[in-house]
Structure 1
Amino acid sequence: MDRVIKVLFFALLVKPVVLLLLGLNIIGRDNLPKKGPAIVIANHNSHLDTLVLLSLFPLSVIHKVRPVAAADYFLGNGGLLAWIALKCIGIIPLDRSGGADREVLFSGCTRALSEGDILVLFPEGSRGKPEQMSRLKKGIYYLIKERADIPVVPAMLHGLGRALPKGEALLVPFNCDVVIGENLTERETAAGFMNSATASFQQLSEYCITLSSTESAEDKTL
């Protein structure tokens, strides 16, 4: 039943809104994993980030694409938001309180990967200022350090922080970029992997046609 709910939610609501109202410039779509286990990592400026990324997957596999999201934000008060997060989007809740050890914290992610799911992760940890990228956190490395078979695909998003900024509820039509890179193969150390991921985001940003030449150097730093 959950699979049907999610497919209908994206087929009838999300895909039409995202693909028709937003002017998406999509590069490297073929780099998205066709099946799991796999991980897509992306920068995070807006709630649209998750919906846009999931909209790029075929409806035939969308039930297997699982965004990792903050449990306190989406499930804290229960109600409609929690139902949409769990049933329509299929999030894997992550406890951000800091009270759980690493194995418990990532147990939902580990289980999903073992079941062949495709995870969507935002390694910055939370939404930052529109079109500015924060330092990446190391948590993802502990999911894949012993799993060289799991591809990790970076996706650079630009413009979504303006289309639906943090704290706003009104969608503003805006041209946005989605640039998807190739699998990150550097896995030997956490530092090596994080440096590789950061460099990949920087390279992908160069393909963002909405990235204005008038933006400051700080805004372009990835």
Structure 2
Amino acid sequence: MKIINKALRWLFFAIIIKPIVKLVIGLRYQNKPILPADGPALIIANHNSHLDTMVLISLLPLKVLHKVQPVAAADYFLKNKFLAWFALNIIGILPIERQSERQTKSPVEQCAESLKQGKILIFFPEGSRGEPESMSELKYGVVKLAEKCPEVPVYPIYMHGLGKSLPKGDTLLVPFFCDVVFSEPLHYQAHQDNFFEQIKTRFDEMQSSVKLPKWD
């Protein structure tokens, strides 16, 4: 069964998601792509849309797909059997409990364990989806995770446009260009008090670097 699910996941992203992202949404790279070639690695990105995860996975080569794990809310994606199967086996999520009374271990511990297994985690430091094309305050969990796995590079990515294609609460996909900005990876140093500020500054720089047409 694992082999079948692995094959289905590969086919889903190779035949459906990558062509949709390329042809229907359309990606515009604002700079040269900087992505992990292997795990462990931590990709952090802003979060405006359900499309965010699919686009981020589509950026990576198919040869590392089996290592990619988007961090996602268990209470949302495991609420019925089909969605749970699809989320776990096709999207490949790492389900975490957001509600403390349900947690058997902390979300940071879960993510750290996954990184120690060589995974490429996709992590949204804002927590949940924000308003279209507007970044919410970053949460400190990303720093706690980097502190637990200081050897793991952190790859910030900023996306613009997906909040218009499929914003929170909408179910109708509207074709709209997605602008992607990549950043050199960050590395946590022991007792680095300003790492959180480095992450926030990097996102501010990426956001301000997006060059949009006058009509956008």
Instruction: Confirm or deny a common fold (TM above 0.5).
Output: yes
Q: Aligned equivalents of 2:72 and 2:166: distance in 1?
A: 18
Change (3 A) 1:211 1:86: farther
Gaps of 5+ in 2: none
Paired amino acid for 2:208: E
Assess if the C-alpha contact under 8 Å between 1:186 and 1:192 holds in 2. Answer: no
Tell whether 2:43 aligns with 1:40.
yes
Equivalenced residues, count? 213
> Which of 60, 64, 67 is residue 64 of structure 1 equivalent to?
67
Aligned counterpart, 1:197:
199
Larger CA deviation: 86-95 vs 22-31: 22-31
- Cα RMSD between the aligned structures? 2.1
Paired amino acid for 2:10: V
1:119-152 Cα offsets, whole Å, 9 max, x none, are 0000000001001111111112222214332000
Paired amino acid for 2:91: I
Q: Aligned equivalents of 2:139 and 2:104: distance in 1?
A: 13
Larger CA deviation: 13-22 vs 144-153: 144-153
> Which of 21, 25, 29 is residue 22 of structure 1 equivalent to?
25
Normalised TM-score (structure 2): 0.90
Paired amino acid for 1:57: L
Taking every aligned residue pair, what percent have the same amino acid on both sides? 46
Assess if the C-alpha contact under 8 Å between 1:159 and 1:210 holds in 2. Answer: no
Change (3 A) 1:63 1:206: same
Q: Report the alpha carbon displacement of residue 105 of structure 1 after superposing the two structures with TM.
A: 2.7
Aligned counterpart, 1:134:
136
Aligned counterpart, 1:12:
15
Gaps of 5+ in 1: 215-222
Larger CA deviation: 21-30 vs 143-152: 21-30
Paired amino acid for 1:70: A
Q: SS in structure 1 opposite 2:47?
A: coil
Q: Report the alpha carbon displacement of residue 11 of structure 1 after superposing the two structures with TM.
A: 0.7
Assess if the C-alpha contact under 8 Å between 1:186 and 1:196 holds in 2. Answer: no
Q: SS in structure 2 opposite 1:156?
A: strand
> Which of 89, 92, 100 is residue 91 of structure 2 equivalent to?
89
Aligned counterpart, 1:218:
none
Paired amino acid for 1:180: F
Normalised TM-score (structure 1): 0.88
Following TM superposition, the consecutive aligned residue runs of length 4 or more in structure 1 with deviations greater than 6 angstroms are: 211-214
